[in-house]
Each structure stands twice: as structure tokens, then as C-alpha cells.
Structure 1
Amino acid sequence: MNNIFDSIPSDLSSEIFDDLVSSDTVKIERIISKGQTSPDFGWYDQEQHEWVIIIAGSAIIGFDDKPSVTLKTGDYLNIPAHQKHKVAWTDPDVETVWLAVHY
């Protein structure tokens, strides 16, 4: 038995990525952010679809060809493969806990 909130480190100066399940066709990861954003070097342009849900906290996802989306606790979003996107903002005051499914 595991819990999504277990083992959250006190030092969140860097974003945390933990693979929870991984196979040839799907990866489920927990992401923990606290004020981090995507790197400045460009957009994520992934080979697989990505479904994300905010378990706690809030974030803004930016897209290259449509308006940004604000996500809060309980909100989820499907990002199709090759949809260019980036994390524009995560709450700097509380942990944002994401669940991301790459399929």
C-alpha cells in the first residue's frame, strides 16, 4: 500500500519526478512542484499523450497555439501528443502535487 502524499521531501528547491508505474505503453508519475516552471529553452513536444490531474495545489499550463489553462486541485487535462506546452507557473507557497499519465 502506498500513498501519493508519502515521502514528500522538505527541500523542494527542485521539482520532484517519481515514476509510480512504467511499461512499454504507459508511464504514471508523481510530480511535486513548488514555484517551479518549465525550462526556458523551449516547449515540451512529446511523442505520447499526457493526462495530468492536480491532486493538491495549482498551476498554469501554457500552449504555443492556444490560451493558457489554470488548474487547481481536482482539475485534469489531456494533452495530445505533439501539443507544444510548458508549465508557466506553480504555486510558490504550497506544494503542487501532480499525477501524470503518459500513454
Structure 2
Amino acid sequence: MPPAPANLLAGLPPSLPEEMLSEILSRPDLRIERIVSTGHASPPGFWYDQPWDEWVLVLAGAARLRLADEAEDRALTPGDHVLLPAGTRHRVAWTSPDEPTVWLAVHCPPRRDG
């Protein structure tokens, strides 16, 4: 029998000392996470550089994402999503300190063409 329905926007704390990461689903080649940020950003000089693809969707709040090869941050609001192919250096430049920013992140192997 399937588990009871859950809501990704339920139980959001107004503030957190660190980002809250909750695994929603995990399989050998797939991981889905809910990430809650309350004013969090990547540490100065830190860049994610992952060997897997990551698709992120902002469900609530607001954020700015910086890609290493772009001069400007990408502003994200609810409904905005971005595919970060494996090896795309990126960082969270800012998340709203006034309300929780809720991300849905899907991690999967990079696409293999040919």
C-alpha cells in the first residue's frame, strides 16, 4: 500500500541555523530532495561541481543562483527551475531571509549521447 500523501510545503520553520535537507526518494541512479533555506547562501568562494545532473525547482520563497561562467546571478521565484548538467560549477548566491525558500532538487546521472 502506498504511503499517505505528504506536502512539501508543510512544517516549514521560520528560520534555521543551517539549510534543512530532506530526502524524498532515493534509488541507485536517482535522488530527490527537499531543501529549505532561510537566508542561506554558499560560503564565499565555494562552488558546487558535481559529477551528476541536478534539476532544481523553487517551490516557495526566492533565491539567486550563480553559475561560474555567467556574469550575473539568476533570480529564481516560485515555479522557476534550472537544469545544472554535470560539471556545471554553481553556487547559491542568496535566499530570502524573510520567508523560507523551498527547493525541490532531482539528482540523476548525466545524459549520455551517442
TM-score normalised by L of structure 1: 0.93
- The 10-residue stretch of structure 1 (27-36 or 6-15) with the greater mean CA deviation from structure 2: 6-15
SS of the equivalent of 1:94 reads coil
Asked if residue 44 in structure 1 is aligned to residue 48 in structure 2, the reply is yes
Return the match for 2:32 from 15, 28, 31.
28
Post-superposition, which runs of at least 4 consecutive aligned residues in structure 1 deviate over 6 A? Answer: none
Report the identity percentage.
42
* TM-score using structure 2 length: 0.85
* Deviation by residue 1:11-62 (Cα, 9 ceiling, x = unmatched): 4121100010011101000000010001235210001100000000110001
Number of aligned pairs? 103
Where do residues 1-103 of structure 1 align in structure 2 (5 Å cutoff)?
Answer: 1-66=5-70, 67-103=72-108
Greater Rg by CA: 2
Alignment RMSD (CA, Å): 1.2
> Alpha-carbon deviations, 1:80-99, whole Å to 9, x = none?
10100000000010100000
